[in-house]
Amino acid sequence: MKITIASIYHYLFLVLCFVVPFQKISSALPNIILIGLVVLFPFVVGKQHFKRLMKPEVFVYLALVLYLVINMLIFQEPGRELNIVKKIATPIIVVLLYTPITNLESIQKTFILSCFTAIVISIIRIALFDFSEISFSFSNGALVDELLIIDRLYLGFMCIISIVISAHLLESQANKYRSLLIVNISISIFFILLASSRIAVLLLLVLFLLKILYAKKKVLYGLIFIGIMTVTASAFVVNKNLGERFFYTQSQASGKSYFELLKSWEARVVIWDCSFKILSNQTPILIGNGFYNTKDKLLECYKTSIDRKEKRAYFITKGFNPHNTFLDFLLSYGIIAFSLFVVLMGLFFKRGRFSYTQSALLVSLIGFSLIESYFQRQIGAYFFGFIFILLLFKEYLPKNK
């Protein structure tokens, strides 16, 4: 009976990993599955499983969550803050629920399958829309995010993680999986270039440079990198959307320089400028402003710092958060929360610095953290939880060759 429950629990956890990207279809489904796992957890967990949590990364993250709760109750408005604090607590719940599972490879394969499914569905949705319209451009961010199964930024990040995991399994899997893994890597790279995901393209290049540092055959990988750079440059030529997304070439006729175009078109330039103004002048550095009060201050900054009426209305309507997880912690809950999150990243680095796979996962996570406040979204919290598992339980990852 216990074996049956353990098997159901394992597959239910895999379903959770699979459905997280499809929150446009059902945002409640991951939480429903999470409740099911919590109900079954006492029947499958043992003392030996809890020992797997005796790691400094877990204690630091627990300290971060506990600090946020105490800070929220004493200095912030719990009614407003609780929604985001619950999201930040989600990863530690996911890690706890994973402890009875020892087959990490099944989690990796499920993540790959989930990403591949999201890519296929997204391509079908885009193709159907493209056939019904006279013109379609991937540089139209709002339209693309509407058509993709999840936002372009998150799907691009998911593709990167899928590529890293696939490359790792490729080095350790029997021949029967090699072809499928190669196909997945190829399709993921193709989709990143097709969808013109800037951060994903940059991360791809950074991760390959990182691979050269870890590889024994550095000359060979250096030549491959030159080939990849050639292919990427060709993609910029063939896919004009990619050029528009990176270099804002749709606005070349304006006569503005690249940096002027960057300031005009890249929302994060305005967001980060306002964030640092708030940090300098309006933030109690020890306790922070709270997540929602930080958003309120950003809205006030948008109203006074953006001259163009349409752009100002767009920023106010969107209510952009800081778009940087490190900066979000610093602004919202002060230097202690920020420091705990930095320490967590440092511990991850210390644990996985000799493994290319874990280093690549951490570099990807840090890169994503620098351009997105992912804890403010349910999907971001779940993604962090799954990557936490991959970084923490390295003893169940095949050793890097």
Look at residue 157 and tell me whether its pLDDT is greater than 90: yes
Split at pLDDT 50, 70, 90, the class of 303 is very high
Residue pointed to by tokens 């990176």:
246
Average per-residue pLDDT for the chain: 86
Look at residue 260 and tell me whether its pLDDT is greater than 90: no
Q: Is the dihedral of CA 387, 391, 392, 394 positive or negative?
A: positive
pLDDT of residue 217: 77
How many structural domains comprise the chain?
Answer: 1
Q: Is there a domain that residue 295 lies in? A: no
- Condensed to tens digits (0 to 9), the pLDDT of residues 212-241 reads 888 877 777 777 778 777 777 776 666 566
Residue 46 is given by DSSP the state: -
pLDDT of residue 74: 96
Q: Is there a domain that residue 101 lies in? A: yes
Q: Is there a domain that residue 272 lies in? A: no
Residue pointed to by tokens 């790279």:
189
Q: Is there a domain that residue 305 lies in? A: no
pTM of the model: 0.90
Q: Is there a domain that residue 283 lies in? A: no
Give the domain range for residue 343.
Answer: 2-251+323-396
Name the more confident of 63 and 22: 63
Instruction: Note whether 381 and 88 are within 8 A (CB).
Output: yes
Average pLDDT over residues 381-399: 80
List, as one string, the DSSP characters of 171-238: TTS-HHHHHHHHHHHHHHHHHHHHTT-HHHHHHHHHHHHHHHHH-S-HHHHHHHHHHHHHHHHHHHHH
pLDDT of residue 398: 40
CA angle 128, 129, 131 (to 5 degrees): 70
- Condensed to tens digits (0 to 9), the pLDDT of residues 72-102 reads 999 999 999 999 999 999 999 999 999 999 8
